[in-house]
A and B are shown apart, each in its own frame.
Chain A
Amino acid sequence: GQSLEQPSEVTAVEGAIVQINCTYQTSGFYGLSWYQQHDGGAPTFLSYNALDGLEETGRFSSFLSRSDSYGYLLLQELQMKDSASYFCAGAMNRDDKIIFGKGTRLHILP
């Protein structure tokens, strides 16, 4: 079956770097996506890894290793506005249902 595991909470300091990990148990995994959700809002797309390696988008980077069934989201130069929940999501194939992890709440200290 499909499941994605991520830590429930992470705390970091403003200006620092934080990594949010996501491990998954599924076969034929197609790709890994990351979403940000602020309280009361809808999830918004951050990044997508179709292939192994690092994808960089501004202060955010995402990594995927299919051989390790593992990915992570890296947030640099943390700002208070980055306080939110972050979700990894994936699907078994191109046209399959997309499943989410339970989310990681990121707390940022001044």
Chain B
Amino acid sequence: TAGITQAPTSQILAAGRSMTLRCTQDMRHNAMYWYRQDLGLGLRLIHYSNTAGTTGKGEVPDGYSVSRANTDDFPLTLASAVPSQTSVYFCASSDPGLSGELFFGEGSRLTVL
């Protein structure tokens, strides 16, 4: 079982360029999330989606956008990258209410220069 697949694994991006981080899950989970992780700051929620067709803002949404056209895919887009968006990005999914468990992808390391 693949679970959650993120791509790319790592990327170096010039400031001002756009970038889409891809996230696909095969567990038919309704809820999906994007977090960024920076040293000393833990995991901060960027955007989330409770079900296909709906999205919500997390703790640090500025500079990022998401879409949820179907259950399986939840891409994260940086329209114009800035160096402060250098981070490790984790996508996660869950079936809310069952066990409280989030399933995480392996992460995407993004460096903005």
Q: Which of B44, B59, B96, B104 contacts A43 (CB 8 A)?
A: B104
Q: Would A42 and B45 count as touching, CB distance under 8 A? A: no
Q: Which of B42, B48, B99, B107 contacts A97 (CB 8 A)?
A: B48
Count contacts on B: residues with CB < 8 A to the other chain.
27
Count contacts on A: residues with CB < 8 A to the other chain.
23
CB distance from A41 to the nearest CB of B (A): 8
> Could you list 13 further interchain pairs (A-B, Cβ under 8 angstroms) beyond the known A32-B100, A33-B102, A103-B43?
A31-B100, A42-B104, A43-B102, A43-B104, A48-B100, A48-B101, A87-B42, A89-B43, A94-B96, A95-B97, A98-B102, A99-B59, A100-B35
Residues of chain B whose beta carbon lies under 8 Å from any beta carbon of chain A: 31, 33, 35, 40-45, 48, 50, 56, 58-59, 90, 94, 96-97, 99-107
